[in-house]
């Protein structure tokens, strides 16, 4: 056996189809312990389909996915026990209060929390004052914080976040980045999707750019900029004379807005 560190997530030649339409065409990447990995791509590129396959929500028509060494197709319960998924706000019952939601999900994840531990979670997300507020009364940013804390309640090795900071103000976004970095500091891994190149540069250790269902580039943000800074397509879209990750992204995926 090699002494190489084992990846927390391995996606190998993943393909996902909806009827005759192939949305993901042989995507491969791996996420290591302590790594924040970003999936970037224009609308319709196949990011959510890739995440859904990892979560076990859509059945791939090709390829392998392992989480903490467990195959999502062959050992789905073990694989899922090692991952935390940030749920959409519609997944929570609006009439439950924040404490009740945390208690409910800790039960679902088989990690019953004591009242003191629920309080700790509330402090962690700065919502101790709002413990008895109904979920439906929370602001969008507060709801995002609840859903992130729920996704990590069972201390999973892999956390999957689909556009986690969309709609957040700069303060809430920074706070969420800190939390994501806290997951990394534990040696766990984060896979996120984002349309914010600023976010990708600020928090991701490595990114994969996906377009039309295929990975077209994969590396650290700095290395991608260095590798493509002299591409004519990248230079032609750059503004103010400085090459950014966004210039590289548009240079590689084209200027056209996707349908």
Q: Which residues bind ligand ATP (CB under 6 A)?
A: 18, 21, 23, 41, 43-49
Distance from C-alpha of 56 to C-alpha of 14, rounded to nearest angstrom: 13
Listed residue (142, 140, 141) closest to 131, CA to CA: 142
CA distances for 173 relative to 125, 170, 220, angstroms: 13, 5, 21
Select 41 or 188, whichever has its Cβ closest to ligand ATP: 41
Residue 49 CB, shortest distance to ligand ATP, in Å, is 3
Whether the Cβ atoms of residue 84 and residue 151 lie closer than 8 Å to each other: yes
CA distances for 77 relative to 67, 68, 72, 81, 229, angstroms: 11, 12, 8, 6, 44
- Given the DSSP bridges, would you call strands 62-67 and 206-211 parallel, antiparallel or unpaired? unpaired
Residue 116 CB, shortest distance to ligand ATP, in Å, is 39
Select 44 or 69, whichever has its Cβ closest to ligand ATP: 44
Select 1 or 257, whichever has its Cβ closest to ligand ATP: 257
Residue 21 CB, shortest distance to ligand ATP, in Å, is 6
> Strand order in 9-18's β-sheet?
21-31, 9-18, 62-67, 70-71
Select 34 or 44, whichever has its Cβ closest to ligand ATP: 44
Residue 216 CB, shortest distance to ligand ATP, in Å, is 13
Select 9 or 118, whichever has its Cβ closest to ligand ATP: 9
CA distances for 236 relative to 36, 136, 224, 227, 259, angstroms: 30, 46, 17, 16, 23
Select 49 or 86, whichever has its Cβ closest to ligand ATP: 49
- Whose structure tokens read 């076990």? 56
Residue 134 CB, shortest distance to ligand ATP, in Å, is 29
Residue 147 CB, shortest distance to ligand ATP, in Å, is 17
Whether the Cβ atoms of residue 159 and residue 83 lie closer than 8 Å to each other: yes
């Amino acid at each position: 056996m090699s002494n190489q560190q084992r990846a927390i997530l391995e996606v190998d030649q993943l393909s996902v189809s909806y009827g005759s339409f192939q949305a993901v065409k042989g995507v491969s990447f791996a996420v290591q312990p302590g790594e924040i990995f970003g999936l970037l791509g224009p609308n319709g590129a196949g990011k959510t389909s890739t995440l859904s396959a990892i979560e076990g929500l859509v059945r791939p028509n090709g390829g392998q996915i392992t989480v903490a060494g467990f195959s999502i197709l062959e050992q789905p319960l073990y694989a899922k026990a090692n991952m935390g998924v940030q749920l959409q706000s519609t997944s929570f019952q609006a009439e439950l209060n924040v404490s009740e939601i945390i208690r409910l999900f800790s039960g679902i994840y088989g990690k019953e929390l004591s009242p003191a531990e629920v309080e700790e979670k509330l402090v962690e997300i700065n919502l101790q004052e709002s413990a008895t507020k109904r979920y439906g009364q929370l602001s969008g940013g507060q709801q995002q914080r609840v859903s992130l804390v729920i996704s990590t309640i069972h201390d999973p090795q892999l956390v999957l976040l689909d556009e986690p900071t969309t709609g957040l103000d700069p303060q809430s976004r920074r706070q969420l980045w800190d939390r994501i970095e806290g997951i990394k500091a534990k040696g766990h891994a984060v896979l996120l999707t984002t349309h914010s190149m600023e976010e990708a540069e600020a928090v991701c250790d490595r990114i994969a750019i996906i377009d039309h269902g295929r990975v077209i580039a994969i590396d650290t943000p700095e290395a991608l900029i260095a590798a493509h800074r002299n591409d004519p397509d990248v230079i032609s879209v750059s503004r103010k004379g400085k090459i950014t990750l966004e210039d590289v992204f548009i240079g590689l995926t084209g200027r056209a807005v996707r349908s």
